[in-house]
Structure 1
């Protein structure tokens, strides 16, 4: 079946605004200091569903999606609000039940033809909607085969992936007439700055106030094109990667640490020369670091992006366990409550001036940079609206800069495989596929159709 069909035509049938079913008292929800570290970027996520025997009609699916969405927005009301800039120039969330833009569409393509490996062709602003207002938008697209794609875009300043995942599961639970299993917490006091504030030098290494950035001495060169790809990695390869990273007397490394080290070594081969810097970051969720019990259902951003820098030459000489050790070491100072408390205080000391994560700054030295964001807890199989589990689900984040973004997620089939979304410079994609085709395998329709056949046999 090959890579699937690219460039499908999507016809929008209807647009409407869906608000919470119950009236809400209009109020302001301030951004936490950790929210203020995020730029105004939108994140996409999509779920693909097969047309199974006994599945409801598209009209019935739409009715269920909208009926449960208006209920979910009562509990997850920030997604029905809008971001307003206050008098100091900082963003705030106005919880006014503006509602969510809901798009109904049709695509002249079958699920088995979708270009999953190259999602820019069929998902970007086609099946995954471009948010034009508010905080959150949804598109439900009927496919030619009767299948369905449910896709969302949301403002990253309002929610990180953990928060969005909670909402998506709650929405699906309500569609299936179940109670919401995780009630979100909006207790911004959990991330209040200390009086007096205190922090070490680590936040200065990770973030830079806008005023501290030096303008380039010469006009920026034309940026190399970036592309999105979706791969899968088999459970066996994930285990082999972890075993290799933990071998030779090395300490036991997590699967994500091993994956990050493996990716770092491969991408280093895409630098123009051996002395060029290669930066690799790994996003850390601070909920369990700050207060696992109080923060378990916290809705907002609780993220920090520690990273390491090595030259391509160094990475070429190092064995995988050595690189995994470096990953572990640059993560270590970010895995504490004190780091997150200090980061909150650091932001407070610079307000209202915005800051930017250094890993995302353009590199004029010809090196490469990439951030791994672990989606290992992505609850793809739980986003079940009443017509079966998704055949495929993935985040989709072509954010626009040159720093790469790679997110491994569990396959919705629960077989231990990973679905890996990658946004990288085109040359780095070519390096990744040339150097590691046996690990990063293009996600073609053959993959999930084979899994579906195995399910039917079982």
Structure 2
């Protein structure tokens, strides 16, 4: 890595607001009950592209030749802006603003306010970027801070001719599934100038509460009213006076690379292939990874009685697909608008499990994977999400939050895993090829750790894993499991 990998300078060339290319009637879009469970959080994602060396067309259309293979970075930026303005016609929620109503609840004002768009230049080459330490190389440099609106975009030209496209969006408006739809649509328009293949649905009635509402008592164990939390926030960790390290009590970000072979090995072990159960378990790769991480984090604890919590984000779209088809006919010949797969918003739940440090240290990986599976299974049913919608309705307008986000003094650690394994990274191709690297960036500021794996662009089956954890947990990741978590470096990724 070059010596300026973190100390490079980013110069803003231009700031502007990109609105939808077509005018729209100003209107209000209510948040669903599932949206209301999200606090004001901004999530970042970024994609790195090498300098395009192929200036000839690889398709048969003249339009693609004109728009998808720009020879200069400035032309590429123009393509991105034009396509963004077109994408916002369908994804108009991203061009609006979040405003509180009289009850103190957020609502979405769809007024085509537009998206803050920054065109910048960084005096660094792609192969010099220290992507393993995104707090230094990415945060506030390549992924923008969002000041206004729902989403902000920054396109950064690099000294080598490469490009970084960074986005930051308001989690209250969209979950990762929704943001993925938008990114793929934006890239599709830039690459082909054709209509987007999937139209988002903003039909909030798909998530209406039932009359009368009802829910299982287990939801009370997963979610908590903010008003019931202690008035004083947990005390921040004091700096370590002995060694002067003030990072131990704060969460830091790292990005790692995991080979497919290691993921498969973890899955085999979680399935009991190396134990006495004869491989009868059927644990997913995500369950195996989560179990391994849970044990690893617990190994940092000295007090065996302290609890270690592990949450997993569950997408409810597949669980609610049956509901989306009930009572809806074919409108204008297109029934797809009612599919939960096209629904734009938050359709998430975060079940979590907890075990003591001592229990996790003593358990085999397959046993921990069983605990992860049991935790997730409770939230993989339609009734869970319908009950969660009713639970929010019964407590409105009081704000609520997932309990695992509220780390307590008796906790050794609390971590949430949010899988991006279905992210179609290769489809974020704006016309000059798929990204050479992509990752989330989510230093959310809370005390609960966050881990977000997504597919690698290098080889099928490999993972890129963004981690936001305490320093002592990151140190353990690198010292106890270097064969699994490989620090990201340009030479390894062949950038």
TM over 0.5: yes
5+ unaligned residues in a row in structure 2: which ranges? 56-70, 239-247, 325-338
153-162 vs 48-57, which moves further? 48-57
Partner of 2:242: none
For residues 39-97 of structure 1, what are the alpha-carbon distances to aligned partners after superposition, in whole Å with 9 as ceiling and x for unaligned?
Answer: 00100000000013135201110110001000000000000000011011100000000
Give how far 1:274 is off: 1.4
Q: Secondary structure at the match of 1:402?
A: coil
Q: Is the 8 A contact 2:407 2:413 kept in 1?
A: no
Q: 2:38: which partner in 1?
A: 38
Post-superposition shift, 1:221? 4.6
Counterparts of 1:18-417 in structure 2, within 5 Å, are: 18-54=18-54, 56-177=71-192, 178-216=194-232, 221-222=237-238, 224-247=249-272, 248=275, 249=277, 250-291=280-321, 294-417=339-462
Deviation at 1:412, TM superposition (A): 1.8
Distance 1:219 1:376, change over 3 A: closer
**What CA distance in whole angstroms lies between the structure 2 residues aligned with 1:32 and 1:190?**
9
Q: For structure 1, list consecutive stretches of 5 or more residues without a partner in the other structure.
A: 453-458
SS in 2 for 1:405: strand
CA contact (8 A) 1:4 1:444 kept: no
Equivalents in 2 of 1:431, 1:218: separation in Å?
24
Contact 2:4 2:124 in 1 (8 A): no
Q: Counterpart of 1:296 in 2: which secondary structure?
A: helix
CA–CA distance in structure 2, aligned partners of residues 121 and 22 of structure 1: 39
Cα pair 2:234 2:409 within 8 Å, conserved: no
- CA shift digits 1:189-240 (9 cap, x unpaired): 0000001110011211111011222335985554812110000100111111
In the alignment, the residues of structure 2 paired with residue 8 and residue 217 of structure 1 have an alpha-carbon distance, to the nearest angstrom, of 36
CA distance in 1: counterparts of 2:93 and 2:369, whole angstroms: 38
Contact 1:3/1:117, CA 8 A, preserved across alignment: no
Deviation digits for residues 173-196 of structure 1, max 9, x if unmatched? 000123312111111000000011
Using the TM superposition, give the Cα deviation of residue 121 of structure 1 relative to its aligned residue in structure 2, in angstroms.
Answer: 0.5
Quote the Cα distance in structure 1 between the aligned partners of 2:139 and 2:430. Answer: 23
How much has 1:301 moved relative to structure 2? 0.2
Q: Secondary structure at the match of 1:189?
A: helix
* Deviation readout 1:404-435 (Å, 9 max, x if unpaired): 10011101234211000000011111111111
1:356-407 Cα distance to aligned partner (Å, 9 max, x none) = 1110103212510100001101111110001111110011100001111001
Residues 4 and 115, structure 1, Cα contact 8 Å, conserved in 2? no
How many residue pairs get matched? 450
